[in-house]
Amino acid sequence: MYGADISNTHPDSRWQNEPGSTKANRFRVGAVADVVGRTALVTGGTRGIGAAIAKALRDADYAVAATYHGNDEAAEGFEAATGIPVFKWDVADDEACAAGVAQIAATLGPVEILVNNAGITRDAMLHKLSSEQWRDVIETDLTACFNMCRAVIPGMRKVGYGRIVNVSSINGQKGQLGQTNYAAAKAGLLGFTKALALESAAKGITVNAIAPGYIATDMVAAVSQKILDGIVAQIPVGRLGRPDEVARAVLFLASDEAGFITGSTLTVNGGQYMT
């Protein structure tokens, strides 16, 4: 939970006894060392796709922090089951993002991998869409990406290293009825990704997007079975995707080895929409 004492898990403690090992030079001492100690932050990392991403990063030896917004029960269960510390704030709140990133830096170390995954839907046809539904989705699914990147980019630029992965959506690529708000936010993420990638490339920071298709999570469970059957019929692979299948793609983009890939969008959609 946010503010919990997790100082014993500070990754630097694994380095302090290594001769000559400092925060500044630890990236040069070998393949495993390149990952051990890097801090990864996954927004919305306590459920669904984000939880799978957080676990995949933990299994790859990153020091992981997962954030969430309101579902304490799910977050506490996730933390107990995985040992991944969870932090609670609203990613749509810029001051909360800055404070949360500082809190994670103080407990786990400076954030070097940021996965902007938190997202919501508030679906309605445009003629029935309220200003509140529009604003909620734009702020949570798009402005939050600015808030979080703004909080981590100065530190990444300073150390000359960073990996940012923004979770967009197939519906930001192709549009979807009832989702003008969501499609606009998710398409906005793709432009944001390219612009920040250009700004950051010379600083050792890559910025990429993932565009999942329909993945079996709570978000998709909210869709009626009838509509879901229609959607699955449009997926060439013939099924919904799994959160771990998205997580593997994020893990790759987060790795040191993906340093020549930036500004790209990786689709993970079972062939439903080919770009």
Binding site for ligand NAP (CB under 6 A): 43-44, 46-50, 67-71, 74, 90-92, 117-120, 140, 167, 169, 212, 214-215, 217-220
Nearest to ligand NAP of 201, 216 (CB atom): 216
The residue (of 33 and 51) whose beta carbon lies closer to ligand NAP is: 51
Q: In what order do the strands lie in the sheet with 265-268?
A: 86-88, 63-68, 39-42, 111-116, 162-167, 205-212, 265-268
- CB of 209 closer than 8 Å to CB of 262: no
CB of 109 to ligand NAP, least distance (A): 21
Give least dist CB 3 to ligand NAP, A.
16
161 tagged catalytic: no
CB of 205 to ligand NAP, least distance (A): 21
Nearest approach in angstroms of CB 64 to ligand NAP is 14
Given the complex with ligand NAP, which of 215 and 254 has the nearer CB atom?
215
Rounded-to-integer distance, Cα 227 and Cα 159, Å = 47
62, 161, 182, 214: the active-site residue: 182
Give 35 or 250: the residue with its C-beta nearer to ligand NAP.
250
The residues carrying an active-site annotation are 182
